[in-house]
Structure 1
Amino acid sequence: MAQYDVIIIGSGPGGYVCAIRCGQLGLKTAVVEGRETLGGTCLNVGCIPSKALLHATHQLHEAEHNFAKMGLKGKTPSVDWKQMLAYKEDVIGQNTKGIEFLFKKNKVDWLKGWGSIPEAGKVKVGDEVHEAKHIIIASGSEVAPVPGADIKIDEKVVVSSTGALELDKIPSSMVVVGGGVIGLELGSVYARLGVEVTVIEFLDGITPGQDAEVAKNFQKILAKQGLKFITGAAVQKVTVKNGKADISYKLRKDDSAHDLKADVVLVATGRKPFTEGLGLDTLGIGMTDRGQISVDDHYRTTVKGIYAIGDVIEGPMLAHKAEDEGMALAEILAGQAGHVNYDVIPGVIYTHPEVANVGLTEEMLKQEGRAYKVGKFSFMGNGRAKANFAADGFVKILADKETDRILGCHVIGPMAGDLIHEVCVAMEFGAAAEDLARTCHAHPTYSEAMREAALACGDGAIHA
């Protein structure tokens, strides 16, 4: 029986980051993982492979639409789907092997197999039982079913995000059930490959929870790129016959029934905590009404010595949120003051243009009744964006009307996922919009749009 200071169940972003930080802080650490490779959903069948395909298909889009405008003339590239999938697999391999290297470097043991917790202080992996002072559940999430709908995922015709990343061939048509991040990213991949993509969303607009102005503009831009949208619609049933799918849905406004056919249906209606087989019921670990593990502000469950982080607890199901929790918990267990600022966790959609946000939306501020001001700047006024055929979108900064303190930022445009961190840092330090506006930004860069939006919170942007 091996004894550890910390055993972490799950090697996704939350688990592996927590393990490495524990190792750095001198804690004897092991990670339980049943996959053949480390990295969890994110590195294997989520964040990383989807970004590889987004990158590849964006290059195709540039070749088809913008190369000739820049004087780059020649035959448009053809798509070798098998090679594109091989490129994606190579990217996955590089990243997962990198985690193995980091485990060895930081003296973290990999306990290969699926874990359960027979009692506090013990983790069972296969036939072996290991002891630990602290057990951390970081088992991530899995695809959530569509509420009230008859849909069976077979990962061939009706697929989850996992199946969508490894289709045998490029289909002619695809229906995406759900207008959130996963559905729009993968829908964009296939639309660029020439697939007829239709997104069916239950609510009246895409990207629920996003700033309403950004969401509206985002949908318009994606529609120009060829994606079709059916909003305010509830999918009732998906039937597979002769390798094709029949999708039945109802419009919420009049309860009228409609049908649609497609080669592939991607179910992208969200995810739910994955805790199967851990033995939580037997242990008596408290759960929320939504099936999440209940924890306090130090990530302690209701059972002493057992903790939880990432997708299995409340909060946005984001890899970087899990990473921050993993680092904070490692520091807490080492006697330090680990902390996560949940008010400054950015969100990103990696389409083109990208969409990024942090902090409060206008809708939230109106609901609070808080006085605020808006600084907006369009990428049409940004020289770099115009030169790069990337002038769609804008930056919106929200600041307190009295103090000028930045309350939120919403970006749709080029490199939005990178630009947003300028505001994240500013918000961590309690900066005012004027602080951002008075910071020199290199020219010509996309980041100048952030400064211009900050200037617009005051006397006005220069290039608007």
Structure 2
Amino acid sequence: MAQYDVIVIGAGPGGYVAAIRCAQLGLKTACVEGRDTLGGTCLNVGCIPSKALLHASHQLHEAEHNFAKMGLSAGKVKVDWKQMLSYKDDVIGQNTKGIEFLFKKNKIDWIKGWGTIPEAGRVKVGDETHEAKAIIIASGSEPAPVPGAKVEVDEKIVVTSTGALDLGKIPKKLVVIGAGVIGLEMGSVYARLGSEVQVIEYLDHITPGMDPEVQRAFQKLLQKQGMEFTLGAAVSGVETKGGKATVTYKLRKDDSDHTVEADVVLCATGRKPVTKGLGLDALGVKLTSRGQIETDAQWQTSVKGIYAIGDAIEGPMLAHKAEDEGMACAEVIAGKHGHVNYDVIPSVIYTWPEVAAVGKTEAQLKEEGRAYKVGKFSFMGNGRAKAVFAGDGFVKILADKDTDRVLGCHIIGPSAGDLIHEICVAMEFGASAEDVALTCHAHPTFSEAVREAALACGDGAIHS
């Protein structure tokens, strides 16, 4: 029986980061993973491969729409779908092999297989049982079924995000169920590649939880790119026949029934935690009403010595949230102080333009009754953005009306996913909008738009 200080179950972003941090802190560490490669959903069938396809399809868009404007003539660009998928797979391989290297570098044992916890302090993988002073559950999440609908996923015609990354061919017609991050990113990929894309969403707006002004602007930009939206619609079922799929849905505004035929249907209605097979019921580990693992402020479950992080517990299902929890949980187990500031966790949608947010929305501040001010700046006033045909979108900063402390930021525009982190750092240090406004920003950069929005919280932006 192998003995460890810590055994981590799951090698996704939360799990592998937790394992590496534990090893760095001097703890003998093992990580249990049943996939053939490390990295979990994110590196294998999620964040990384989707970004590869988003990048490739964006380059196609640039070639088709902007090259000629810049004096670049290369003839009609052809899409080699097999090569694009090969490029995507190569990106996956580079990243997963990188994690394997880090495990070896930090002397972390990779226990290959699926783990169960027969009792506190023990993890069983296959016929072998391993002992550990602490166990971290980082089992991640999986695609959730379409609520209230009869849908059978075959990952060929009716697919989840996993199947959408590896289609046999580019569909002529793609129906996306769900207007969240996954649905819009993958819908954007195939729209650029020539598919007719229709997004069906139960709510009356896209990107649930985001700032309403961003939602409206984002939808208009995606519609300009050819994506069609059917909002306020409840999908009741998907049937497949003759290599096609028929989606049935009901419009909530008038209770009318509709059908649409597609070559591929992407089910993108969220994700659910993976907890089955771990033996949690027998252990007495408490779960929430949504099936997530309950933890205390130090990520410990209701059973002493068993911890949980990432998508398996409450909070946004984001890789970087899982990574933060992984590091913090490792610190706690090592007898140090682990901390995650859940008020400063950014979210990003990697379409073009990108969308990013951190902190409060206007709707939340109004609900709290908190007095606030808004500083907004359009990318049309940013010289760098105009030079690269990226003038769509804006930066919006929300600050406390009395103290000027930054409460939130919402960006739709070029490199929004990178720009948001200036505000994350500002919020982490309790900075004011004036602090951001008084900080010199290099010219010409997209980041100047952030400074201008901060200036707009005070006496006014310069370039608007």
Q: 2: distance between equivalents of 1:355 and 1:76?
A: 30
The percentage of counterpart residues that share the same residue type is: 78
C-alpha deviation, 1:100, in angstroms: 0.4
**Aligned equivalent of 1:401:** 401
- Post-superposition Cα deviations, 1:368-395, rounded to whole Å, max 9, x if no partner, equal 0100000000000000000000010000
C-alpha deviation, 1:114, in angstroms: 0.5
* 1:200 partner letter: I
Count of residue correspondences: 464
Map residues 40-59 of structure 1 onto 2, 5 A cutoff: 40-59=40-59
**Aligned equivalent of 1:164:** 164
- Post-superposition Cα deviations, 1:106-127, rounded to whole Å, max 9, x if no partner, equal 1110000000001110000010
Q: 1: distance between equivalents of 2:125 and 2:75?
A: 55
**Aligned equivalent of 1:73:** 73
Q: 1: distance between equivalents of 2:261 and 2:317?
A: 31
- Post-superposition Cα deviations, 1:159-200, rounded to whole Å, max 9, x if no partner, equal 000000000111100000000000000000000000000000
C-alpha deviation, 1:219, in angstroms: 0.2
Matched residue of 1:427: which SS? helix
**Aligned equivalent of 2:11:** 11
Matched residue of 1:229: which SS? strand
Matched residue of 1:323: which SS? helix
Quick check: 1:327 aligned with 2:327? yes
Q: 2: distance between equivalents of 1:216 and 1:34?
A: 42
**Aligned equivalent of 2:151:** 151
Gaps of at least 5 residues in structure 1 are: none
**Aligned equivalent of 2:311:** 311
* 2:347 partner letter: G
Quick check: 1:297 aligned with 2:297? yes
- Post-superposition Cα deviations, 1:110-168, rounded to whole Å, max 9, x if no partner, equal 00000000111000001000000000100000010111101110101000000000001
Matched residue of 2:259: which SS? strand
Quick check: 1:135 aligned with 2:160? no
* 1:399 partner letter: A
Matched residue of 1:409: which SS? strand
Map residues 48-447 of structure 1 onto 2, 5 A cutoff: 48-447=48-447
Gaps of at least 5 residues in structure 2 are: none
Q: 2: distance between equivalents of 1:400 and 1:87?
A: 46
* 2:407 partner letter: L
* 1:62 partner letter: E
Q: 2: distance between equivalents of 1:316 and 1:231?
A: 23
Q: 2: distance between equivalents of 1:246 and 1:286?
A: 40
Q: 1: distance between equivalents of 2:109 and 2:29?
A: 6
Which stretch has the larger CA shift, 322-331 or 70-79? 70-79
* 1:212 partner letter: P
Matched residue of 2:425: which SS? helix
* 1:91 partner letter: V
- Post-superposition Cα deviations, 1:396-426, rounded to whole Å, max 9, x if no partner, equal 0000000000000000000000000000000
Where does structure 1 differ by over 4 angstroms across 4 or more consecutive aligned residues? none
C-alpha deviation, 1:76, in angstroms: 2.3
Q: 2: distance between equivalents of 1:337 and 1:302?
A: 20
C-alpha deviation, 1:74, in angstroms: 2.2
C-alpha deviation, 1:335, in angstroms: 1.0
Q: 2: distance between equivalents of 1:156 and 1:53?
A: 18
* 2:197 partner letter: V
TM-score (norm 2): 1.00
TM-score (norm 1): 1.00
* 2:176 partner letter: V
